[in-house]
Structure 1
């Protein structure tokens, strides 16, 4: 398969496939004329990587997961450990976003939104003692 075919079949854009090759995540065959030649296995690995990235796994996590995917002697606890760490990071991001939302919501509620220049949102964003 050429890069267009594998991109279409795996759901991973050709530009991303080239990047994955550049960073060593995949290693397509090369034909005599230098064109990339992808196999069904490459397509499955790319679909795997596309799904992992859609779930927010980092490139390094993807590298680890792909190595585990290819290792028939892997232990599922190794895979679970990677996924659990990623889940912990997601929960941490959600907590930060919820805190940001609560703070911003409070500031929006405090702002009259009228014709006066006083604005608690700007006051909160401004460094203390900053002159106007």
Structure 2
């Protein structure tokens, strides 16, 4: 199959497929007489594996290591658990960060009474302007704001 067919079958952009080839994650396919790449079932399966790992937000370095385990079925696989545990840690850290961001946005949103009349003050904008001036705001109390030089 040609690259556009592989892209359609996996939902991966053509440029991304080329990038994965260049990075060595996806082996280069055979070439047809006309010079077109000729992808086969193993390419489709490997690309689907990569796509699944990326959907789990795994870094390319980890995907590369996981592919190494797939390519060497007799090799040591203890690192697979470690890689997944590290990814779980990254996801948990991101979730914690996102919860903090949500809290900050809710605090900022609480400054708006919903009345947006012409010329009326807007609590959200007032808070953002205060923060821009280095003052404490609803979402960043003075104690947690970085000190500017």
Task: State the TM-score, normalizing by the size of structure 2.
Answer: 0.74
Check the 8 A contact 2:112/2:122 in 1, yes or no: no
1:20 is the counterpart of 2:29: no
Q: Secondary structure at the match of 2:134?
A: coil
**Greater helix content:** 1
CA shift for structure 1 position 22: 1.8
1:116 is the counterpart of 2:137: no
Alignment of 1:50-89 (within 5 A): 50-89=51-90
1:59-89 per-position Cα deviation (integer Å, ceiling 9, x unaligned): 1111111111111123442111111111110
Aligned residues: 128
CA shift for structure 1 position 26: 1.2
Partner of 1:107: 108
**Deviation >4 Å, runs of 4+:** none
Q: Distance in 1 between matches of 2:33 and 2:26?
A: 19
Alignment of 1:36-47 (within 5 A): 36-47=37-48
Indicate the RMSD between aligned Cα atoms, in angstroms.
2.1
Q: Distance in 2 between matches of 1:69 and 1:36?
A: 24
Q: Distance in 1 between matches of 2:135 and 2:92?
A: 32
Task: State the TM-score, normalizing by the size of structure 1.
Answer: 0.82
Partner of 2:30: 29
1:42-73 per-position Cα deviation (integer Å, ceiling 9, x unaligned): 11101101111111111111111111111112
Deviates most, 75-84 or 61-70: 75-84
The gaps in structure 1 that reach 5 residues or longer are none
Partner of 1:3: 3
Deviates most, 116-125 or 4-13: 116-125
CA shift for structure 1 position 112: 3.8
CA shift for structure 1 position 121: 4.0
Q: Distance in 2 between matches of 1:121 and 1:108?
A: 11
CA shift for structure 1 position 32: 4.0
The gaps in structure 2 that reach 5 residues or longer are 137-149
